Amino acid sequence: MKFSEAFKLMKQGAKVKLPGWGGFWYWDAEKETIMIQCRPQDSDTQGDLLDIRETQRVEYTTMNMQSNEWIIADGTNCPILGGEATFSFGEAIKYLKRGMKVARKGWNGKKQYIQLATGISYKTADGVIVNCEHDAIGNMAVAFVGTSGVQMGWLASQADMLAEDWVFAK
């Protein structure tokens, strides 16, 4: 939903979040402001509760408000409330670009995930190290890390691209 709808729901007592978030936002009627309930490791300050007017990441906060992917935070989708944050493949790509590891919740192997590989190089048959530099596509690839090692240049299946069960890998 759009932020305008999420804001109306907050004013009615709902907690809202974006899909990949571990915390949520809610309206504090007494303070007349939005409060941000963060996981302690995600907080800008020492605490895990932040008045939106005190955010240190103004651009990030403003960009979040422009999202059309707001959802109600509850015990199934919000880690602070006992659930697990899941998200789409599009969100997974955004998190990869930020350096995070992501995985499908439904993948069979434990500790399997994908991450963005950079600084890619390879050794030719005659032992020469070649750095992969390409003006148009750069020097990055998606790496699949599994029980048998690392697969460079992993390609998502249609099922992976359409799935909504992406999670942060541990």
Domain coordinates in residue numbering, the chain: 3-81, 89-168
Closest CA to 157 of 167, 168, 142: 142
User: For the range 49-53, what are the long-range contacts, defined as Cβ-Cβ under 8 Å and sequence gap of 24 or more?
Assistant: 52/25
147: confidence class by pLDDT, cuts 50, 70, 90: confident
% of residues, the chain, pLDDT over 90: 67
| Residue 9 per-residue DSSP state | H
CA distance 33 to 138: 43
Q: Are 86 and 165 in contact (CB under 8 A)?
A: yes
- Amino acid identity of 68? N
Q: Tell me the average pLDDT across 99-114.
A: 89
Collapsing DSSP to helix, strand or coil, 159 comes out as helix
Give the pLDDT confidence of 2-37 residue by residue, as tens digits: 999 999 999 999 999 998 898 999 999 999 999 999
* pTM confidence score: 0.70
Helix then strand count (H, E) for the chain reads: 4, 12
pLDDT of residue 63 exceeding 60, the answer is yes
